[in-house]
Amino acid sequence: MWPPARSSAAATLEWRRNSRTIAERLSVDEQAQPADSPNHLHLTIPSNEPWQPLVTEDWNEVEPHPTRRLAAKYRLWWSTRSRISLRTPKPRVIFFARPKNGLSPSP
């Protein structure tokens, strides 16, 4: 699956699968590829059942398997927020109050 064009060179690929995904007797393996700088999502969808040939009809049309089904909706986008904060933290000023009698406060 391909996202829209990358917004900047520093952008990272993000994705989310809809929570109402239907996967009956199937597994969905999601991998961002290529590993060093992902620009698409690769899906592998293996069956949880043993392999068997699909039925074909007279025009060599493949009939869908009646017990396996996948319905999924994905959203892919580019994130430009950095995982490491590059902002310089604001200095903090802390004031300590001194007792009026000049003595240290007792614990």
Distance of alpha carbon 45 from alpha carbon 70, whole angstroms:
9
Give the per-residue pLDDT at 5. Answer: 93
Give the per-residue pLDDT at 52. Answer: 78
Of 19, 7, 35, 14, which is closest to residue 72 (Cα–Cα)? 19
Give the per-residue pLDDT at 29. Answer: 92
Residue range 24-42, pLDDT digits in tens:
888 899 999 999 999 999 9
pTM for the full model?
Answer: 0.61
How would residue 101 be classed by pLDDT, with cut points 50, 70 and 90? low
Give the per-residue pLDDT at 39. Answer: 94
Task: Tally the C-alpha atoms within 13 A of residue 88's C-alpha that lie toward its C-beta.
Answer: 2
Residue range 43-90, pLDDT digits in tens:
998 888 888 777 787 888 877 777 788 899 999 999 987 555 555 556
Classify residue 41 as left (phi > 0), alpha (psi -120 to 50) or beta.
Answer: beta
